[in-house]
Amino acid sequence: MRSLLLSLKLQRLSLSLLPSHISLSMISLNHRFSSHLISNSFSSSSSSSSSSPQPQVIQSPSRVGFLGLGIMGSHMALNLIQSGIDVTVWNRTNTKCQPLINLGAKYKSSPEEVTASCDVTFAMLADPQSALDVALGNHGAVNGMGPGKGYVDVSTVDGETSKLISGNIKSTGALFLEAPVSGSKKPAEDGQLIFLTAGDRDLYESVSPFFDIMGKSKFYLGDVGNGAAMKLIVNMIMGSMMASFSEGLLLSEKVGLDPNVLVQVVSQGAINAPMYSMKGSSMIQSLYPTAFPLKHQQKDLRLALGLAESVSQPTPIAAAANELYKVAKSHGLGDQDFSAVIESLKSRFQHSDDH
């Protein structure tokens, strides 16, 4: 076993020295070879272990599962497939799996079957309840987990939900990592997401090559719950910024300024954020092509406010923004981009004009 680990360390070092033009599919082949060796090593030593599940370090996993193929998950899984990774997919609406199957993905009919057939499984679900159902429900992912496997939840959920999933996964002897992402549809397409991870450090190290395919950076934040908290805080700030930006666009128009010029001014100043220039023009035209659904932004604000309340931290700005997103949802805008929050301000302004 010692010589095997030394061999793997040397292999990882040699991979790190490869020229940038070497394809990821070649690296993937090395991953598969390493995984085969480790799997055989685990098999030969498992007979001497105790009957209770024992966590095992996962070295260079070759078979990857992906649960949840929505706006984000479909592009994340696609990037893995296009990099030569052996990917098995599942989605509640199974028709969403077909485009990836056509590109080489395998398909299983339940989360349990995916985790049973894969070394590591990623899950990208819409909300805490969906994350719980997929992980712990009937034919859920936990039923296919065990020693030598890992579960990486990249959904945006609260810390308590993440800890509950983690506890159940780890009770099987598997490893768990929460890894919510910062970024929306375009960064997911371009492999430019930011992973905010917490949990088993060994699993973090094992799946880092996959993070590098799907994202531009990754942070390891310690214990389970810290990744969830960081993501909620980031999205709390983002939601508040978008609400304030919406106010600025409407106010500029009300006083006779060109809101398009406002976007240019903001984009060149200290308060610039990429989302202003990306979304400003379409917002002015009342167009909201969905990159990050408004209903998910409101969900994240709600969870962030709950987190703040749990530690007695006042968040009046986020609370006010949350009310605007709730109004927009009540107007039927939940599935449109979160920039549609501007419509809730329009309705208020129109109401005030009537008096």
CA contacts within 13 A on the Cβ side of 229: 17
254 is catalytic: no
- pLDDT at 40 (0 to 100): 37
Q: Which of 304, 188, 179, 141 is nearest to 238 (CA)?
A: 304
User: Of these residues, 108, 218, 231, 279, which one is catalytic?
Assistant: 231
- pLDDT at 346 (0 to 100): 93
DSSP class of 250: H
Q: Which of 350, 320, 306, 161 is nearest to 241 (CA)?
A: 320
Tokens of 127: 């909300």
Structural domains present in the chain: 2-222 (3.40.50.720), 229-353 (1.10.1040.10)
336: alpha, beta or left, given left = phi > 0 and alpha = psi -120 to 50?
beta
Mean pLDDT by 10 residues, the chain (355 residues): 42 41 39 38 36 59 95 98 98 97 98 98 98 98 98 98 98 98 96 99 98 98 98 98 98 98 96 95 98 97 98 99 97 97 81 51
Phi and psi at residue 41, to the nearest 5°: -65, -45
Phi and psi at residue 50, to the nearest 5°: -75, 165
- pLDDT at 23 (0 to 100): 40
How far CA 211 is from CA of 24, 42, 338, 355, in Å, comes to 13, 25, 26, 54
- pLDDT at 17 (0 to 100): 38
How far CA 90 is from CA of 56, 122, 149, in Å, comes to 25, 11, 18
Degrees (nearest 5) of the Cα angle 62, 74, 35? 5
- pLDDT at 61 (0 to 100): 80
For the chain, how big is the Rg over CA atoms in Å? 22
The number of beta carbons lying within 10 Å of the beta carbon of residue 57 is 16
CB 111 within 8 A of CB 90: yes
Q: Which of 143, 148, 225 is nearest to 179 (CA)?
A: 225
196: alpha, beta or left, given left = phi > 0 and alpha = psi -120 to 50?
beta
DSSP class of 97: G
